């Protein structure tokens, strides 16, 4: 351990343990079925297929899987002793509580209530690691005295440190709230569910008697319990700042909440902000908003504790200096040892360190150019499959490694560069694994349950997943809907699915640790992944509490060897500010602080700028000039006004842009479009409204011009007028459909192209609002279902922003029209179904089917029996599967559960409506 300035470097690792147990941490042969049966309680597959008497054979259902392929076999070059897949109960990686009492969270040093300790134990946290204890106790953060920046490897327990700090602040400090900022919606939803379990039954320290006397009434019986709320684009939560104690937010929502709290002077209730994935600060697309938010907090008169963490921070010391001389802590500890390998030309080479990886890759690259050079000795060899589909040595290696892992009953996570690649790899991996009829009955039943869960979603069951899930394989990418990804992730975590193939871009947005991580190349699309992304993917290896070792295999092709060698040797890039010259963040930063009145003069703006991360990475004179030019630009574009005495205030337009969480560039674009709409708004159709709240981000997507032309040809006279008013020409669309190219060299051409893309997206929204199911819209426009669902969710958040924009601009009539269509978008239905669509699970096409079958109001659904709702729900399913009687019964049972939820939801809504009517009469 080394102390440097205000930081603590914790260098504890598993190296000592590995040296003591070297024979255990090696790759080896897959286990025999007899050994494998010793893994009690874990899902497994049949390895020895000579005796199938104990396994389920669904004779009534034909095997629907893809044709078999033959996987290459993996052999050790040298007998390396005990298999890597053997249990390793004797390898103690972490000191126990008996060795160090401070590893018990119930120790008085932490001051945590017993209920919280019990709740942690209920979710599997019964002790902590030495580095976590040291970080909590020696940083001063636990006492709330200092900000904290820390970094630890993926799977090393980063989140628990922040959770303890955040919960202690909320529990011990009356009236204080916490905010946890995460980059992705999926992570927000997962963390929100987890935190609700952890805080269940925990009572906050009571407020002072004086404050209690000032309350006019007691609102709820649970007001002293900790409440957790989620905030993200498209969320339906109506919880306000006052109604919750912990806000789990996406980056954009967190910044918006801080702006609102500063503006209405409630920011004093915010006690602590936790920023996860802090390395994203230098992401110009959205991560830079973290810097904007943190700098505003640093500029407040009252102190707000800031906790920043990441697995890939190379300059924690600089970030700590920026955050008001925070403590910084660096840990390299991993609770599960990870063995790393480079795979090339059907040979597996050990790479226990970055330097060895680099050396191995360099030697292989040199030898491939000059065969006379010596070649490093591989640890294992992969035989080439005789199946022509696996003729590529790269694909052969990926499939063979996945096959070995799955047949041993462990989890494998394969990363691919594209969605199409994910599905292709998943299919080929499924073709070498045991068929559905060869799987033990318990696992086979769980996989059939998963298929039924996916069938009962509004989008139905993907035809490829239908074939590969019974074999224990699935893919996981942004083309799937949220429900599909969640179901697959849960099944994988439970051992029902053995292999998941995911896109590289999802590496940071999923929490799916694996026994073995396999990288199908080191590219994301055409470009090499960066060092940070590579570490994110490799960091998924090792499942704490489930595996005793993790493995990573980077499967590389000849043309990438040299680049991979350099990539492995490269350091993680240092995080830098995105407010630098040439980047657009500075304009948004200054507009927001002026609009929230946090800085309204040259002096206060200078004070704000000195608190940015930018201040630590740019020449002072250059910075001053950049601030002056940015302020001038904000004035010229009409976003701020200069009052006498060099005082600044945001114009109504500037306020509208900040309130609706837009960038200045996007806000000005939206303003121009809405001004055109105010001049000639087409009210006899719906396209103009839908175009108005189509997210400006959609203007960066691709257009299928043939589909666009077909849709334009079908537009009626009203919608053709909309096309004309927004500035689009059918002649241009026809030209593009015939192979033309859209010019985007000037600012005007870029804006015109943006309008075309936005209108094309508005056509998809039109179909969603008119009860076309997500899967049908996806098929019509030849885009993934997950993309359509994400569009709908994004539109809901953007529509809410547009309503606020119009309200700030005093465009009340337009705000009212947008508000109505926002409700239609949420419901995915026409106006007559809006009331019915408030009921859980009754949306879009399902709502229409209920309507057509006599359930035309919430009261009608509430009055119905579950047995009356079930047949209607069956009619609403997207695809009627052909199932055997046993499967049909299970399928019906799942829909019956949905019908019961529908009944309860309708009764709840109806009772609230009746109560509201009674209150009005009184």
Supply the pLDDT for residue 235. 58
Summarised one tens digit per residue, pLDDT across range 258-272 is: 999 998 888 999 999
Q: Could you report the per-residue pLDDT of 79-127, keeping only the tens digit for each?
A: 555 445 443 333 444 556 667 889 999 999 999 999 999 999 998 888 8
Q: Comparing 356-360, 837-841, 863-867, 917-921, which segment has the lowest mean pLDDT?
A: 356-360
What CA dihedral angle connects 746, 752, 754 and 758, to 10 degrees? 180
Residue 74, pLDDT > 50, answer yes
For residues 713 and 792, membership in a common domain is answered with yes
- Residue for token pair 């040809």: 713
Residue closest to 834 by CA, chosen among 825, 842, 824: 824
Percent share of the chain, pLDDT over 70: 83
93 assigned to some structural domain: no
Using the CB atoms, write b or e for 326-349: b if 16+ within 10 Å. bbbbbbbbbebbbbbbbbbbbbbb
Given strand 499-503, what is the order of strands in its sheet? 74-76, 380-382, 347-350, 338-344, 550-556, 516-520, 412-416, 499-503, 473-476
How many of the other CB atoms lie within 10 Å of CB of 95?
15
Q: What is the CATH number of the domain that holds 506?
A: 3.40.50.300
Query: 171-184 b/e with 16+ CB inside 10 Å = b?
Result: beeeebbbbbbbbb
Count how many domains the chain has. 5
Number of C-beta neighbours around residue 455 at 10 A: 21
Q: What is the CA radius of gyration of the chain?
A: 29
Q: Are residues 154 and 245 in the same domain?
A: yes
Q: Does 395 share its domain with 521?
A: yes
User: Which residues does 144 contact at the CB level (< 8 Å), separation at least 6?
Assistant: 169, 173, 271, 272, 305
- Let me know whether 624 and 763 are in one domain: no
Tokens for 309? 């963490």
Reading phi first (left if > 0) and then psi (alpha if -120 to 50, else beta), residue 555 is in: beta
Question: Is residue 240 predicted with pLDDT exceeding 80?
Answer: no
Q: Which of 380, 710, 721 is nearest to 555 (CA)?
A: 380
Residue 157 and residue 302 in one domain? yes
Residues 851 and 907 placed together within one structural domain of the fold? yes
Same domain? For 352 and 438 the reply is yes
**28 belongs to a structural domain:** no
What's the pLDDT band for 372 if we cut at 50, 70, 90?
low
- The CATH number for 723's domain is 1.10.3380.20
Residue 912: how many other CB atoms lie within 10 Å = 12
Q: Is residue 20 part of a domain?
A: no
Q: What is the pLDDT of residue 628?
A: 92
**498 vs 569, residue with greater confidence:** 498
Taking the whole predicted model, whether its pTM rises above 0.85 is answered as no
In the structure encoding, which two tokens stand for residue 418, read together? 């594209």
Same domain assignment for residues 637 and 731: no
Residues 530 and 547 grouped into a single domain? yes
Host domain of residue 289: 103-206+222-330
Establish if 94 belongs to a structural domain: no
pLDDT at 753 > cutoff 80: yes
Residue 692 lies in a domain: yes
Residue 18 lies in a domain: no
Please report whether residue 605 resides in a domain: yes
Residues facing residue 474 across a β-bridge: 500
- Asked if 851 and 836 touch (Cβ cutoff 8 Å), the reply is yes
Least Cα distance to 162 among 174, 178, 138, 183 occurs for: 178
Q: Are residues 672 and 646 in the same domain?
A: no
Q: Would 74 be classed as within a structural domain?
A: no
- For 576-622, write each residue's pLDDT tens digit: 898 887 777 899 999 999 999 999 999 999 999 999 999 998 888 99
Closest Cα partner for 245 from 312, 196, 288, 283? 196
Give whole-number Cα distances, 402 to 380, 472, 515, 727, 776, in Å: 15, 11, 11, 53, 34
412 and 532 in a single domain? The answer is: yes
* 764, 799, 828 - which closes a domain: 828
734 and 878 belong to one structural domain: no
pLDDT on residue 813: 81
Number of CB atoms found within 10 A of residue 207's CB: 13
């Amino acid at each position: 351990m080394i102390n440097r300035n205000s930081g603590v470097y914790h260098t504890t690792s598993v190296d000592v343990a590995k040296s003591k147990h070297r024979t255990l941490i090696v790759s080896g042969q897959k286990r025999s079925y007899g050994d494998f049966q010793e893994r009690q309680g874990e899902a497994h597959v049949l390895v020895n297929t000579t005796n199938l008497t104990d396994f389920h054979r669904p004779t009534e259902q034909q095997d629907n899987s893809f044709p078999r392929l033959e996987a290459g076999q993996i052999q050790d070059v040298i007998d390396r002793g005990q298999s890597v897949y053997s249990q390793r109960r004797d390898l103690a990686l972490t000191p126990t509580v008996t060795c160090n009492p401070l590893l018990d969270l119930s120790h008085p040093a932490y001051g945590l209530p017993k209920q919280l300790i019990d709740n942690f134990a209920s979710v599997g946290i019964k002790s902590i690691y030495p580095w976590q204890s040291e970080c909590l106790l020696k940083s001063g953060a636990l006492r709330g005295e200092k900000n904290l920046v820390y970094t630890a490897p993926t799977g090393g327990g980063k989140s628990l440190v922040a959770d303890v700090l955040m919960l202690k602040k909320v529990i011990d400090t009356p009236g204080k709230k916490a905010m946890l900022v995460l980059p992705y919606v999926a992570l927000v939803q997962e963390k929100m569910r987890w935190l609700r379990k952890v805080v269940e039954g925990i009572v906050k320290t009571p407020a002072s008697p004086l404050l209690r006397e000032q309350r006019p009434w007691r609102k709820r019986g649970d007001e002293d319990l900790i409440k957790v709320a989620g905030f993200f684009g498209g969320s339906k939560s109506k919880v306000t700042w006052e109604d919750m104690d912990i806000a789990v937010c996406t980056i954009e929502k967190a910044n918006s909440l801080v702006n609102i709290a500063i503006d209405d002077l409630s920011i004093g209730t915010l006690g602590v902000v936790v920023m996860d994935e802090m390395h994203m600060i230098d992401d110009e697309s959205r991560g830079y908003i973290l810097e904007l938010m943190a700098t505003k907090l640093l500029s407040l008169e009252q102190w707000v504790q800031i906790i920043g963490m990441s697995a890939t921070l190379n300059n924690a010391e600089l970030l700590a200096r920026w955050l008001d001389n925070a403590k910084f802590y660096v840990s390299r500890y991993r609770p599960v040892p990870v063995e790393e390998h480079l795979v090339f030309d059907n040979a597996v080479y050990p790479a226990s360190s970055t330097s060895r990886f680099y050396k191995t890759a360099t030697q292989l690259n040199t030898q491939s150019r000059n065969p006379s050079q010596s070649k490093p000795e591989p640890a294992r060899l992969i035989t080439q499959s005789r199946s022509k589909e696996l003729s590529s040595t790269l694909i052969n290696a990926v499939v063979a490694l996945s096959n070995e892992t799955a047949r041993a009953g462990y989890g494998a996570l394969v990363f691919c560069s594209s969605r199409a690649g994910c599905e292709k790899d998943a299919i080929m991996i499924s073709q070498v694994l045991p068929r559905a009829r060869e799987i033990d009955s318990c696992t086979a039943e769980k996989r059939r349950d998963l298929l039924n869960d996916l069938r009962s979603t509004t989008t139905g069951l993907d035809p490829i997943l239908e074939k590969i899930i019974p074999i224990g394989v699935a893919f996981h990418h942004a083309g799937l809907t949220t429900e599909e990804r969640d179901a697959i992730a849960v099944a994988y975590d439970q051992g029902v699915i053995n292999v998941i193939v995911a896109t590289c871009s999802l590496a940071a947005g999923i929490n799916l640790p694996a026994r073995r991580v396999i990288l199908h190349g080191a590219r994301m699309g055409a470009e090499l992944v960066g060092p940070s992304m590579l570490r994110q993917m490799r960091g998924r290896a090792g499942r704490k509490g489930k595996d005793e070792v993790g493995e990573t295999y980077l499967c590389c092709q000849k043309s990438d060897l040299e680049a991979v060698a350099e990539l492995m040797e490269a350091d993680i890039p240092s995080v830098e500010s995105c407010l630098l010259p040439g980047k657009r963040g500075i304009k948004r930063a200054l507009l927001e602080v002026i609009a929230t009145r946090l800085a309204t003069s040259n002096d206060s703006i200078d004070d704000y700028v000195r608190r940015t991360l930018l201040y630590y990475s740019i020449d002072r004179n250059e910075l001053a000039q950049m601030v002056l030019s940015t302020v001038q630009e904000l004035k010229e574009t009409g976003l701020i006004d200069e009052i006498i005495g060099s005082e600044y205030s945001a114009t109504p337009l500037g306020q509208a842009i900040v309130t609706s969480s837009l960038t200045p560039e996007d806000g000005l674009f939206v303003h121009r479009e809405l001004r055109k709409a105010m001049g000639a708004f087409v009210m006899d159709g719906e396209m103009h409204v839908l175009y108005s709240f189509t997210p400006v981000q959609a203007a960066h997507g691709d257009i299928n011009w043939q589909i666009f032309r077909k849709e334009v040809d079908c537009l009626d006279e009203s919608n053709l007028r909309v096309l004309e008013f927004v500035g689009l020409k059918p002649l241009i669309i026809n030209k593009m459909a015939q192979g033309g190219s859209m010019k985007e060299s000037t600012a005007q051409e870029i804006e015109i192209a943006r309008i075309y893309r936005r209108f094309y997206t508005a056509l998809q929204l039109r179909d969603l609002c008119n009860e076309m199911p997500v899967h049908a819209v996806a098929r019509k426009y030849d885009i993934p279902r997950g993309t359509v669902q994400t569009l709908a969710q994004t539109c809901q958040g953007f529509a809410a922003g547009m309503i606020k924009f119009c309200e700030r601009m005093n465009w009340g009539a337009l705000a009212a029209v947008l508000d109505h269509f926002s409700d239609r978008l949420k419901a995915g239905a026409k106006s007559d179904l809006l009331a019915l669509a408030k009921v859980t699970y009754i949306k879009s096409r399902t709502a229409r089917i209920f309507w057509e079958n006599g359930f035309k109001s919430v009261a009608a659904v509430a009055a119905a029996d579950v047995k009356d709702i079930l047949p209607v729900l069956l009619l609403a399913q997207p695809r009627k599967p052909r199932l055997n009687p046993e499967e049909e019964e299970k399928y019906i049972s799942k829909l019956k559960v949905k019908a019961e939820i529908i009944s309860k939801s309708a009764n709840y809504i109806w009772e609230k409506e009746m109560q509201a009517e009674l209150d009005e009469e009184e």
